[in-house]
Structure 1
Amino acid sequence: MTTATSPDIAPRIAARLARTIGPRRYAMWFEQSARFTCDHDQQTLRVAVPSRFIADWIERNFRKQLADAAQQELGQPLEIDLQVTPDHFPDQRAPQAGAQQSDAPDSPTRNNPSSPKPQPPTLPRKTQAARHLRRSLSEFIVGPSNELAHAAACRLADADIEPTGPLFLHGGCGLGKTHLLQGIAKRLFDQQPDARVHYTTGEQFTNDYITAVRANKLDAFRKRIRQLDLLAVDDIHFIANKQATQQEFLHSFDQIELCGARVVLASDSHPKVIKQFSEALVSRCVRGLVVQIAQPDTATRERLIEALAKRRRLAIAPEVVQTLARRTRGSVREIEGTLTKLQAMAAINNPKTATPNVVGHALVHQLFNHDADLAPTRPVRFETVIETVCERLGVDRAEVLGRSRSQLAVLGRTLTIHLTRDLTSMSYPEIARAMGNRNHSTVITAAKRILGQLEANPNTPVPTETQADSLRDLVDDLRQTLRRA
């Protein structure tokens, strides 16, 4: 809303201000909450707002932009006079005391400029909330990398057990944090259909808080949040650099716990290493149970592949599952992506057969070879090759470079020659010198021998220190590791 003694100036100043700070922020703080009046005689731009809260926020964050916009339009500097005149805004009530005492809220991440007036946030009705909880704890695949997190989640979700503090889950993307949070909320719903449960994200909590302040409904927002039986907040690190939101969340956190309710939070990082996380909030988080979810190990990846393949109705033999588990070392999402590709490739390769969803070794190797061809090429050093081979086989470097005839030493020597020739620009004489001045004809013989084995019988088991791989799987795994190094 803009008015002025000179009808042309105020809209021009407002338009320039909107271009400077962006339409989203302008709509948030000026479009419905400020009226401009330009007084040429006193060289003043008066800005009328409905509350002291909005006046303080504009003073701290937009005074300079206001002054610059006015000077650029008029060609001379103007004083900025912020006036709190609630009578000019009959459609907006005065802020409640809680909003006046709060720090300035953080900018929202979403806002609709066309909305005439922000509406107070409302927690979803129980049936709506339950409908959005798609994950359950019973579907979570448990392994050594996540068993403590799963056990803690099950305990927190048990309505018969009194909570002993908040649960904070942290780990990389795609490892199951969201699954556990939604699973906790869903299980509590299943046990107590009348439970007041709220699953949200740090981003949405911030937006709801700001909307409540803007709509002068902060007390209602606090009442709804602080009377919950369970508050589950995903990506809590989103509020790290937002002081007002952190302060509001901290008070809600304390009130919920005082009432004996449950709090579970999730983040990519441990609370102590989240930048700009307030000391008070860190203290509350570490007072409870902080559990890291690591990347799934091989055994857990096998269980994940079997479960996900079953849901997709993919037929994968156990030995192919083992190959996939060894070759797919990322997050659960990466495993899902790999299975999606395999399903698509199976459908393309077998479009008219009765088994379009059968995945075999040939299809798996076709997939990984295709991905390897698309990966950016990086220079690989001989030292990296031999260190990787020795670590993978569990054999000493001195044995590989020496005269040892043990099975692992010979295998390590052959693999080093083959991978060095394949991934570096070194010639056979250079490889021979790097491996201790061997005759390069011996190196050529070893390289030809492994190539013949890969062509004739690639699935022959090759014993290593930790497990038995096929020769092709072992070579492919080492090649993939070296390309990522």
Structure 2
Amino acid sequence: MTNAGALRANPTSDVERAWLRIRGHLRESAGTRLFDQWLKPLALGACDEADTVRLTLPSAFMTNWVRNNYAERLTQEFRALLPQVTTVIIETATVSAPLPVLTAVDVQPVVNEPSPIAAIGGARPALDSRFTFDRFVVDASNRVALNAAQALAEPGPPRFSPLFLHSGTGMGKTHLMHAIGTAFLAAQPSANVIYMSAERFMFEFVQAMRARDTFAFKARLRSVDLLMIDDLQFIAGKDATQEEFFYTINEVVSAGKRLVVSADRCPQALDGVEARILSRLSVGFVADIKPAEIELRRAILARKLVDLPEVTVPADVLELLSVRLTSSIRELEGALNRLVAYAQLTGESIDMDFTHATLGDVLRGVQKRVTIDEIQRAVSTYFELKPIELVSARRARVVARPRQIAMYLAKRLTTRSLPEIGRKFGGRDHSTVIHAVRRIEQLRDSDVDVDSAVRVLLRELEG
């Protein structure tokens, strides 16, 4: 039998094997942050056509993003492994089954070859064994949150409940939640644990209402020993979901069970979330994780390298990543993973040139963010004006031209909209900003003084 014939004889297993390899390629090339957020939820869907592969995602938003950014890449990957595949369809899953409770056997070890993720209807969730307490790098910025998480995971009556964790994206909240679940199940293997995102909570609740089976949904969540809900901010403004969420957490806490909730800000700052929910969450322990200082970022990279003994990353490269990538731990780890993956795929050594070539887009993306106030101060200083003159009604050329330059720089260096820029310059209309931008663009081609001023200011503001 020919190779093509063999593929046709057993297409499902060949597709699954190809998907395993493709997921591995995606994980290495995209980096942990992007892969976990967008590509990890991809699942093989049912398909009877030998030349077609169906991939599903849990939401239309994720489906659109992957279609726009990875449709061509996925098609090429499948064609390279399975020449008979001509079409890869990326679609939103339409059938959902509820997340089962977790037991100790559901804490799965991480292996080098990523396991296939089933469609939502058959997926069995697992706590990530990489995210444990002993792998959580700690300093003053997150020590209180770690101590609280460890206390909640201890056997016996909980010292407090709920535990509310909050921080910016990628600072370690999800790591701590997985660690709580893993430690709790290790101490009490027969315990029932559910970990889910607030978005999943909302999705399952809506599905239960449509199926007129909310009783089973409520009973499952309220019978657990430990309930963990991640990213609470996603139910802001969803009144029906919030009502059910309130009754769920109220019953869990009243029954003396453990509840952990995370969000990207403290309870008092969660706009669009009902006051009674925030009040209930605030009676437990609220712990924040502050942005990681440079020493913690260095320690996190060092801890990551312990898991990569065959990889050599020079100290100057590690320092570059520690200094430049400050927004989140996830971004920092993702950059290191991407760097290592590219080095392994190309066979090159990691040095500063290789790092800039590989992470150029990442490093450029974290350049200094400039504000309109900073632009106004810099322009005023350069032209020896008072900052208030740039927002005044004066139309004399000595003020008008610097004002136009400042508007031009605001449009170029910030993400503010034209109306927002106009408001920052004395409440001017957006058409005034458009005129200023076009005028400075013209003058930079014909007026040496204007072009020189813009160049100097750009260097100063971009640092």
Task: Calculate the TM-score normalised by the size of structure 1.
Answer: 0.50
Q: Which residue of 1 aligns with 2:350?
A: 359
> 3-state SS of the aligned residue for 1:165?
coil
| Correspondence 1:192-203 to 2 at 5 A | 192-203=188-199
Q: Which residue of 1 aligns with 2:392?
A: none
Contact 2:161 2:259 in 1 (8 A): yes
Q: Which residue of 1 aligns with 2:164?
A: 168
* 1:329 aligned onto 2:326: yes
Q: Gaps (5+ residues) in structure 1?
A: 1-109, 388-422, 435-478
The whole-number CA distance in structure 1 between the counterparts of 2:237 and 2:375 is 42
Contact 2:165 2:286 in 1 (8 A): yes
Contact 2:205 2:217 in 1 (8 A): yes
The whole-number CA distance in structure 1 between the counterparts of 2:288 and 2:281 is 13
Deviation (angstroms), 1:210: 2.4
> 3-state SS of the aligned residue for 2:307?
helix
Q: Which residue of 1 aligns with 2:232?
A: 236
> Which amino acid counterpart does residue 127 of structure 2 have in structure 1?
L
Q: Which residue of 2 aligns with 1:214?
A: 210
Deviation (angstroms), 1:246: 1.2
> 3-state SS of the aligned residue for 1:162?
coil
> Structure 1 residues 252 and 369 mapped into 2: Cα distance closer, same or farther (>3 Å)?
closer
Q: 1:290 aligns with which of 283, 286, 290?
A: 286
The whole-number CA distance in structure 2 between the counterparts of 1:298 and 1:378 is 19
Deviation (angstroms), 1:262: 0.7
> 3-state SS of the aligned residue for 1:221?
helix
The whole-number CA distance in structure 2 between the counterparts of 1:377 and 1:287 is 39
Contact 1:171 1:267 in 2 (8 A): yes
Q: 2:100 aligns with which of 106, 109, 123?
A: 123
> Structure 1 residues 249 and 262 mapped into 2: Cα distance closer, same or farther (>3 Å)?
same
Q: Which residue of 1 aligns with 2:337?
A: 340
Identity of aligned residues (%): 29
Contact 2:101 2:224 in 1 (8 A): no
Q: Gaps (5+ residues) in structure 2?
A: 1-91, 109-125, 382-412, 414-443
> Which amino acid counterpart does residue 103 of structure 2 have in structure 1?
K
Contact 1:163 1:260 in 2 (8 A): no
* 1:153 aligned onto 2:144: no
* 1:256 aligned onto 2:252: yes
> 3-state SS of the aligned residue for 1:265?
strand
> Structure 1 residues 158 and 362 mapped into 2: Cα distance closer, same or farther (>3 Å)?
same
Q: Which residue of 2 aligns with 1:5?
A: none
Deviation (angstroms), 1:195: 0.6
Q: Which residue of 2 aligns with 1:136?
A: 132
> Structure 1 residues 316 and 289 mapped into 2: Cα distance closer, same or farther (>3 Å)?
same
Deviation (angstroms), 1:372: 6.2
State the Cα deviation string for residues 286-308 of structure 1 (Å, max 9, x = none): 11122221221101000111122
The whole-number CA distance in structure 2 between the counterparts of 1:383 and 1:189 is 57
* 1:314 aligned onto 2:311: yes
> Which amino acid counterpart does residue 359 of structure 1 have in structure 2?
I
Q: Which residue of 1 aligns with 2:185?
A: 189
> 3-state SS of the aligned residue for 1:257?
helix
> Structure 1 residues 318 and 170 mapped into 2: Cα distance closer, same or farther (>3 Å)?
same
> 3-state SS of the aligned residue for 2:107?
helix
> 3-state SS of the aligned residue for 1:359?
coil
Contact 2:152 2:180 in 1 (8 A): yes
State the Cα deviation string for residues 176-223 of structure 1 (Å, max 9, x = none): 111111111111011100011110111111122223333333223222
State the Cα deviation string for residues 14-40 of structure 1 (Å, max 9, x = none): xxxxxxxxxxxxxxxxxxxxxxxxxxx
Contact 2:106 2:127 in 1 (8 A): yes
- Of 366-375 and 191-200, more deviation after overlay is shown by 366-375
The whole-number CA distance in structure 1 between the counterparts of 2:174 and 2:364 is 33
Q: 1:275 aligns with which of 263, 271, 278?
A: 271
- Of 148-157 and 372-381, more deviation after overlay is shown by 372-381
> Which amino acid counterpart does residue 231 of structure 1 have in structure 2?
L
> 3-state SS of the aligned residue for 2:196?
strand
Task: Calculate the TM-score normalised by the size of structure 2.
Answer: 0.53
Deviation (angstroms), 1:145: 1.9
- Which structure has the greater CA radius of gyration? 1
Point out which structure has higher relative CO (alpha carbons under 8 A, 6+ apart): 2
Contact 1:324 1:364 in 2 (8 A): no
> Which amino acid counterpart does residue 324 of structure 1 have in structure 2?
L
The whole-number CA distance in structure 2 between the counterparts of 1:241 and 1:174 is 24
